[in-house]
Amino acid sequence: MNLIDQNKLAWDQKVAVHVESKMYDHSSFLKGRNSLPLIDQELLGDINGLSVCHLQCHFGQDTISMSRMGAKATGVDFSQEAVEFGSRTAMDLGLDTRFVHSDVYSISEKLSEPFDIVYTSYGALCWLDRLDLWAREIDRILKPGGKLIIVEFHPFIYTYDNSLQKLEYDYFQSDAIIEQELGTYADREDKNQYTMATWNHGLGEIFSSLNNVGLRIVDFKEYDYSPYNCFENMVEHLPGRFSFGHIKIRIPMMYSLQCKK
């Protein structure tokens, strides 16, 4: 099995586990909770009436949250299980959120109309081996004047092991990092074993891939916390703000990046 198919299998398996997890708290989501972290809601701003394409949308909570905020939202993911679950949820909630089954590298073949906003977040880029193709697809599906919004974990974090104890991985993209993981970030008690391949991308590589297709960076911020408790050894320093308990200095945990076409 090639690495991408292996990842797809792992993500298909994770959908059912994540839907039941405390972290994704699907029952409160069904009752109306907006699953988007506050940072993301602020960056998105007033999206009422705008078309938004959410890349790597997983099982759709954030995409559906954008529909609830008034957007014409489309979620894209290469996991069939994820997009089917998202579509069923939207239908059950009486919302018109659309879900499209596609690899990130071929979305422009599946979507005919361009979007006002392309959004992608938290743990998306590490699954991609070709940021040049990713950027090319974003450019193809954005309207002229449209905006790309990325909110992501900082590449600094990905140079360490999952508990931020040991410097372990290249900051710059190199070969795939292939790992076996017991359980998932959303449910550490999960007994499934997943084999997955990820790729590290430094900030320079991310900026250049967007710049090379003509997307203009208009805003970039780094944050010293994560809105998710998704790594080991994290503590909630302030409500909704997690960082590593054993690290007493401020390190970059995530970043947001906005580009204009």
Ligand X SMILES: C[S@@+](CC[C@H](N)C(=O)[O-])C[C@H]1O[C@@H](n2cnc3c(N)ncnc32)[C@H](O)[C@@H]1O
Residues lying near ligand X in the complex (CB under 6 A):
7, 11, 56, 58, 62, 77-79, 82, 103-104, 121-124, 127-128
Residues 115/143, Cβ–Cβ less than 8 Å: yes
CB of 114 to ligand X, least distance (A): 19
Strand residues in the chain grouped as ranges (E):
51-55, 72-77, 98-101, 115-121, 142-153, 177-182, 193-198, 216-223, 234-238, 241-244, 254-260
Report how far residue 145's alpha carbon sits from residue 107's, in angstroms, rounded to the nearest whole number: 20
Residue closer to ligand X, measured from CB, 43 or 82: 82
Residue closer to ligand X, measured from CB, 183 or 246: 183
Residue closer to ligand X, measured from CB, 51 or 79: 79
CB of 248 to ligand X, least distance (A): 28
CB of 93 to ligand X, least distance (A): 17
* Lookup: tokens for 86: 């998202």
CB of 160 to ligand X, least distance (A): 18
CB of 143 to ligand X, least distance (A): 21
Q: Whose CA is closest to 47, among 142, 138, 117, 120?
A: 117
Residue closer to ligand X, measured from CB, 69 or 82: 82
Amino acid identity at 134: W
Residue closer to ligand X, measured from CB, 182 or 246: 182
